[in-house]
Amino acid sequence: MASWIEQSVSRGILTSRYPKAAATDDETPPTGRPPVPESPATSLPAARDRCPVGAITETAVDQGKCIRCARCVGAGLSFSGSVEAATRSRSDLLRISAGPTPVPDGAPPLAGLGRSLHLFLVDVGSCNACNLEVLALANPYYDLQRLGIFFTNSPRHADVLVVVGVPTAEMVEPLRRAYDALPAPKAVVAVGACPISGGVFAGTEGLASALDGLVPVDVYVPGCPPTPTAILDGLLKLNGRDRETREGRR
Amino acid sequence: MRRPGWRVEPAAAPRADRASRALAYAPEDGAFSLVNDYSEGMSVLAPGGPDPAFDTPWAVWRTAAGAARPHALAPAPEVEGYGVFTFPYGPLSMGVPEAGRFDVRTYGERVLNLVPVGGFKSRRVRAAVVGQTVVDAALRVERLAGNFSAAHVAAFLDAVESAEGRAVPTEEWWVRGLAQELQRIYNHVHVIARVAEAASQNVGLAQTHALAEEVLRTQGAVFGHRWLFGALLPGGPARRLDPTDRRALATRLGRLGDEFERLWRLFLESRTFVDRIQGTCPVARDAAVEWGAVGPTLRASGVAWDDRLRIPVAPYTDLFLPLPHESGGDALARVATRAEEVRASFLVLEQMLERWPAAGAGDEPPGSAVAPGRGLGRVEAPSGDLVYDVRVAAGRVVGLDLRSPSQANWPLFAAGMRDAVFTDFHFAFESFGFAFAETDG
């Protein structure tokens, strides 16, 4: 008993300063950031054919499709976008530039959600990496409870469904039932390329549509998988707390 | 020619000391069985499929391979009686943070029978990779089970290279070994954290969870990705470690290794932790051999088999690798085996970083093909022996089948849970290190 206390004290405080300070490099490896073109007019056409998931068009990078495989890096794109890339609409995922992606003025915090959120994780067909990144939010480095965010064991006690994975035909019904079980006001956060667009499995026979064809999605968090910091950004954008923390940043 | 890792026999004759059914599985064309002969420390490849006499586990794997609709992952005897009902747990629950279901036959507290049900998260990876180039297929393979990505890609590439008869630079093998050992440490530490969570060891959980995060950050620092996606792609951005990188990584790993030693000692001193997992979900040696258990589950039941030693490839041919095993067969033995393997992996990494091969160190010959254009790849994944059977033609994948460690171990979890109580579930489940993702594919 005494030794566990000694152990805890000797390690000190590990918790990230995020969101009061910007995410550090240790929290964010290169692939934790969205790839953005150095000069869109020339880089995008040059890199388009390298993309294995068709995320790059002549005019934009669809971060909802991007799996951060790095094939476009070196062809005019670099992982230099902001970690804070979560958006409130699907189309905004095509407009990510180097700075943090602000919630547009037309999308206020979701009505009725307070400062505290309760989350229920829904896996609709993931590889496990997103599940583990979401769960990593509970470790001492991210400690999501300090921000008033908690995991719950039942959708009946939750405000937010955190959905990971590419929806399989088998998981459509469990997903709908979990969504229906949430008390209003309710919200859905799509974590990772899979629920947003199908990611690397888009177009495989036997898979259902993207998540927003099944339930309404309120926040999109791009990445494959998104880092815990990126997921946290998405959660804070739900109730508008990202603004207050970012404005308080020095 | 590299040692193939198996001996070909006309048929895998059943013998008591063989896990005769262990690796038998049916790809779409040309069934064969791959059998571990524990008395000789050698695998036997028998073309033509397994002996029909062993047909129960065979049927289990046959269904599991690629089936999408929910299906049982282990057989279970019928249980009836007064007040007995089926309690379905899953597919959505926070206790098991993955989509999968457990049908528990019970009259209340006692588990009379438990059937794991998979197939909910089948992303049809096997179908998705057919027709893809090897490098594009690898993007899907590493996303088959994100927390085991290095092992899956390594086994896949080994199979492809054997099929194509292609030699690979020694340094690339070492990069694969490095990635796999880092990921083994992450997964074992994660399992210990999950068991600590089930045992309400909250300080232990927080400290172990923090250590797991530090391993992920180390992976991110070395390979640019926290889950090693893209780290081992063929001809891709495989990382070159210069001496400065190696020294920095060795220092970082030294710190993590010391931290793990402190935590594991505290866990062993914690009576509530040890008491709770001792005797939980036992797997007897005979059952482990009969059902073909793999990995820490097999080793915790007293069988010292590890693909890294039995089918050695670079870098393991040149390193000292301890082979931890226990005899208890319970959750404690599985957790203790994993803890010892974390130590072993730190030791292997230390040796690797000291003896890293020069960039021009030559090539490793490929393994032998099973048939023209068809190769087997086997690696010791964190949860055990992982087998890939890949058919390639003109640089594209024509067919893919795999037998994951999770698939092999489900029946033993189901058997171990019989006559347990509900509260044993999480200790038992977590100690195996299952992933529905790799079972469903």
Residue B81 maps to a domain: no
Contacts of A134-139 with C-beta under 8 Å, sequence gap 24+, read: A134/A162, A134/A164, A134/A191, A134/A228, A134/A231, A134/B97, A135/B97, A136/A228, A136/B209, A136/B212, A136/B213, A136/B216, A137/A228, A137/A231, A137/A232, A138/B209, A139/B206, A139/B209, A139/B210, A139/B212, A139/B213
Decide if pLDDT at B3 tops 80. no
Under the banding of pLDDT at 50, 70 and 90, the label for residue B12 is low
Chain B CB contacts of A4 under 8 Å are 203-204, 207, 266, 270
Which pLDDT score is estimated for A104?
62
At B30, the pLDDT band (50, 70, 90 cuts) reads: low
CA B274 from centroid of its chain's CA atoms? 24
Q: Which residues of A touch B91 (CB under 8 A)?
A: 170-171, 174
B137 and B43 share one domain: no
Among residues B438, B441, B439, which one has the least CA distance to residue B151?
Answer: B438
In this predicted structure, the answer to whether residue A82 has a pLDDT above a threshold of 80 is yes
Residues of B in contact with A227 (CB under 8 A): 226
Task: Summarize pLDDT for B215-269 with one digit per residue, the tens.
Answer: 999 999 999 999 999 999 886 556 778 899 999 999 999 999 999 999 999 999 9
Q: Is B94 on the interface with A (CB under 8 A)?
A: yes
Residue B148 has pLDDT above 90, yes or no: yes
Q: For residue B289, what pLDDT band results from cuts at 50, 70 and 90? A: confident
Would an 8 Å CB–CB cutoff place B139 in contact with chain A?
yes
State which of B64, B80, B105 marks the end of a domain: B64
CA dist B337 and B358 (Å) reads: 34
Chain A positions touching B141 (Cβ under 8 A) are none
Reading the block at residue B90, the tokens are 């899953």
Burial status of residue B394 (CB atoms within 10 A of its CB: 0-12, 13-18, 19 or more): exposed
The per-residue pLDDT for A15 is: 95
Mean pLDDT for chain B overall: 87
- Cβ–Cβ under 8 Å, residues A131 and B93: no
What local confidence, expressed as pLDDT, does residue B435 receive?
95
What is the dihedral sign for C-alpha B364, B365, B371, B373?
positive
Summarised one tens digit per residue, pLDDT across range B317-332 is: 989 999 999 999 999 9
pLDDT band at B296 (very low <50, low <70, confident <90, very high): very high
User: What mean pLDDT do residues B410-439 have?
Assistant: 93
Cβ partners under 8 Å of residue B237, min gap 6: A70, B224, B230, B231
Neighbours of B320 (CB within 10 A): 9
- Three-state SS string over chain B comes to CCCCCEEECCCCCCCCCEECCCCCECCCCCCEEEEEECCCCEEEEEECCCCCCCHHHHHHHHHHCCCCCCEECCCCCCCCCCCCEEEEECCCCCCCCCCCEEEEEECCCEEEEEEEEECCCCCCHHHHHCCCEHHHHHHHHHCCCHHHHHHHHHHHHHHHHHHHCCCEEHHHHHHHHHHHHHHHHHHHHHHHHHHHHHCCCHHHHHHHHHHHHHHHHHHHHHHCCCCCCCCCCCCCCCCCCCHHHHHHHHHHHHHHHHHHHHHHHHHHHCHHHHHHHCCCCCCCHHHHHHHCCCHHHHHHCCCCCCHHHHCCCCCHHHCCCCCCCCCCCCHHHHHHHHHHHHHHHHHHHHHHHHCCCCCCCCEECCCCCCECCEEEEEEEECCEEEEEEEEEECCEEEEEEEECHHHHHHHHHHHHHCCCEHHHHHHHHHHHCCCHHHHHC
**Total domains present in chain B:** 2
**Cβ contact B263–A7 (<8 Å):** yes
Structure tokens at B441: 């594919």
> What is the nearest CA distance from B259 to chain A, expressed in angstroms?
10
Phi and psi at residue B418, to the nearest 5° = -60, 130
Chain B residues in contact with A225 by the CB 8 A cut-off are: 146, 226-227
User: Looking at the structure, do residues B239 and B345 belong to the same domain, yes or no?
Assistant: yes
Task: Please check whether residue B300 lies inside any domain of the structure.
Answer: yes
Q: Do B44 and B129 belong together in one domain?
A: no
Assigned domain for B90 exists: no
- For residues B39 and B130, membership in a common domain is answered with no
Last-in-domain residue among B64, B94, B114 = B64
How far is residue B427's CA from residue A27's CA, in Å, rounded to a whole number?
Answer: 30
CA B179 to chain A, closest CA, distance in angstroms equals: 16
Q: What residue type is A217 in one-letter code?
A: V
pLDDT the model gives residue B312 = 84
Phi-psi region of A200 (alpha: psi -120 to 50; beta: other; left: phi over 0): alpha
Which residues form the domain of B312? 125-440
Decide if B69 contacts B119 (C-beta within 8 A): yes
B253 and B338 fall within a common domain: yes
Domain boundary among B28, B46, B64: B64
Same domain, B299 and B368: yes
Sign of torsion over alpha carbons B425, B430, B431, B433: positive
The answer to whether position B113 is within a domain reads: no
In this complex, the residue of A68, A138, A165 whose CB is nearest that of residue B121 is A165
Calculate how close chain A gets to B301, using CA atoms only, in Å.
27
Nearest CA-CA distance, residue A235 and chain B, Å: 18
Strand partners of residue B363: B169
B80 is a domain residue: no
> Of chain B residues 179-218, which have a CB less than 8 A from chain A?
190, 203-204, 206-207, 209-210, 212-213, 216-217
Examine the domain organization and report whether B192 and B48 are in the same domain: no
pLDDT of residue B20: 46
Q: Could you give all domains of chain A from N- to C-terminal order, each with its CATH number?
A: 117-247 (3.40.50.12280)
CB nearest to B266's CB, from A3, A29, A165: A3
CB contact under 8 A, A165 and B99: yes
* Residue B221 contacts A where some CB pair is shorter than 8 Å: yes
pLDDT per position as a tens digit, B32-64: 667 777 777 777 776 665 555 444 444 444 444
CA distance A176 to A170: 11
pLDDT of residue B10: 64
Rounded distance, CA B404 to CA B440, Å? 10
CA-closest candidate to residue B79, choices B115, B118, B54 = B115
Q: Tell which B residues from 2 to 61 touch A, by Cβ distance under 8 Å.
A: none
Do B181 and B47 reside in the same domain of the chain?
Answer: no
Do residue B369 and residue B220 come from a single domain? yes
Of the candidates B138, B439, B430, B158, the residue with the CA atom closest to the CA atom of residue A135: B430
Query: Domain for residue B166, yes or no?
Result: yes
* CATH (domain of B308): 1.10.645.10
Neighbours of B288 (CB within 10 A): 23
Position B108 in a domain: no
Q: Does B131 lie in the same domain as B18?
A: no
Residues B144 and B59 in one domain: no
- Contacts with A131 from chain B: Cβ below 8 Å: 97-98
Residues of chain B contacting A26 with CB distance shorter than 8 Å: 217, 221
Tens-digit pLDDT profile for residues B97-145 = 999 999 999 998 899 999 999 889 989 898 899 999 999 999 999 999 9
CA closest to A193 among chain B residues? B143
Contact A127 B69 (CB under 8 A): no
Indicate if the pLDDT at residue B429 is higher than 90: yes
User: Is A139 in Cβ contact with B266 (below 8 Å)?
Assistant: no
* pLDDT at res. B14: 55
Please give, rounded to a whole number of angstroms, the shortest distance from the CA of B81 to a CA of chain A.
30
Instruction: Assess whether pLDDT exceeds 80 at residue A236.
Output: yes
pLDDT tens per residue across span B70-104:
888 888 788 999 999 999 998 999 888 999 999 99
Q: Of the candidates B94, B121, B204, which has its C-beta nearest A126's C-beta?
A: B121
- pLDDT of B13 higher than 80: no
CA distance B167 to chain A (A): 24
pLDDT tens digits, B336-350: 999 999 999 999 999
Q: Which of A96-110, B308-322, B362-376 has the highest mean pLDDT?
A: B308-322
The shortest C-alpha distance from A39 to chain B (Å) reads: 23
Three-state SS string over chain A comes to CHHHHHHHHHHCCCCCCCCCCCCCCCCCCHHHCCCEECCHHHHHHHHHHHCCCCCECCCCECCCCCCCCCCCECCCEECCCCCCCCECCCHHHHCCCCCCCCCCCCCCCCCCCCCCEEEEEEECCCCCHHHHHHHHCCCCCCCHHHHCEEECCCHHHCCEEEEECCCEHHHHHHHHHHHHHCCCCCEEEEECHHHHHCHHHCCCCCECCCHHHCCCCCEEECCCCCCHHHHHHHHHHHCCHHHHHHHCCC
Is B10 within a domain? Answer: yes
Among B70, B95, B124, whose Cβ lies nearest the Cβ of A207?
A: B124
C-beta atoms of B435 and A224 within 8 A: no
Residue B429: exposure state from Cβ atoms within 10 A (0-12, 13-18, ≥19) = buried
A35 pLDDT more than 80: yes
Question: Same domain for B12 and B142?
Answer: no
